[in-house]
Amino acid sequence: MPLAAGWTLAILVAVGFSALGVWQYGRAEQKRALLAQVQHTLQARQPVPLSVAAQDARVDGIDWAAGQGRFADGPAVLLDNQVRDGQPGVRVYRPFLPANGGPALLVELGWQPLRGDRALPVIAPLPGSRQISGLLVAPPSPGLIRGAAVAQGDGDLLVVALQPATLAAALKLKTLAPRVLKLDPALPIGYPRDLDVLPNTLPPERHLGYAVQWFGLALAVLATAAVLTWRRRGAAREKMGA
């Protein structure tokens, strides 16, 4: 391969690796900022109305919300592929209807394990009026996964990605707020849960580690190209001197 072509290829590969490193570093910074915002919100715990969940301007925001209302009759939503303490399971959600007539929103009730035969848990209804509170956040990131809700024998919906906009029709609701409420673990309803906003995803430290690896690979490619160029020129000089 001509020297110029070899260096062009090496530079292109190094630029590609560097771009991946920059992306991973950016994800680490985004998640650090998110965790800092969550910590600030939890320390303050200044409740806002549940209706804030429907505000487009706050779709990526973090708020501590509280309000009165009731859980809607009908199916629960089970988010598949959720791991807790190394065990596979589902996260359980139910739509909540605020008493002030605002848009319904999905409330995370907690996590339930799956048996070896993947039999889904039975989710009990939650009748009556209730006062709830919790952390308003964006739904868990679906990544590249998409898929329609699959109705189970008992009517509950199994999903691989939580997309309120598309779930509203399946739940026979006019609309669903774009944010979900992670229910306060102190409330005596639901299942084991926490306020972790990055479940089943990479923490910032892991993204930073991957960024370092990509930058290291970019440097390795350029260093290899430099060594091969030096050897090639050295061989050429020896050939001329022979």
Query: Residue 130's pLDDT is what?
Result: 95
Question: Regarding beta strands 48-49 and 77-84, do their DSSP bridges make them parallel or antiparallel, or are they unpaired?
Answer: unpaired
Does the reported pTM lie above 0.85?
no
In angstroms, the Cα distances linking 52 to 62, 67, 174 are 10, 11, 17
**What mean pLDDT comes out for the span 56-60?**
84
The pLDDT tens digits of the residues spanning 29-57 come to 988 988 898 899 999 899 999 999 988 88
pLDDT for position 60: 85
Q: In the chain, what are the domain boundaries?
A: 3-26+204-241, 46-183
pLDDT tens digits for 152-187? Answer: 888 899 999 898 888 998 999 999 999 999 999 999
Residue pLDDT, tens place only, 176-224: 999 999 999 999 999 999 998 888 788 899 999 999 999 999 999 999 9
Token pair listed for 91: 């996260």
* Dist CA 131 CA 107 (whole Å): 12
